[in-house]
Amino acid sequence: MSGTPVRRRTRSDELPAWRIGIVSGLVGILCCVGPTVLALLGVVSAGTAYAWANDLYGDYAWWFRLGGVAVLVGLGWWALRRRGLCSVGGVRRARWRLLAAAAVAVGTYAVLYAVTTWLGTLAV
């Protein structure tokens, strides 16, 4: 049989969709999670964390969201490049993993938004 050998896909060939999505979603909601974590650690009071989160979310929410999208794109590109899939064909092969990473990012953002909003109702 002639030609190039068929390369089998291994676990290391797959994109880490969960990790990429969670990190991206966390960066996107960092405006609220940061003050919440500081309050839970006892560094600042709950009222201060609530005020900071409202200020950051009200004034800079889109900057944090764009940062989350930038992290999603950057980590996706890095993972594709590292696995030698940084081509149109490679992106097509990994499209479901890329979509899964985006879905995990949105889900992480939504869950953390709900949790921080709920914790904010307890701080008031």
What Å distances lie between residue 38 and 16, 45, 116, CA to CA? 29, 8, 12
The full set of domain ranges for the chain reads 16-123
Give the Cα separation of 124 and 122 in Å (integer): 6
pLDDT tens digits along 41-52: 999 888 888 888
Rounded mean pLDDT, 74-98 = 88
- 77 is written with which tokens? 């590109």
Look at the chain and count its residues.
124
pLDDT tens digits along 102-119: 999 999 999 998 988 887
What is the DSSP code (8-state) at residue 4? Answer: P
Question: Which of 61, 32, 59 is closest to 120 using CA atoms?
Answer: 32
- 123 versus 40: which is more confidently predicted? 40
What is the helix (H) or strand (E) element at residue 18, kind and residue range? helix 17-28
User: What's the mean per-residue pLDDT of the chain?
Assistant: 85
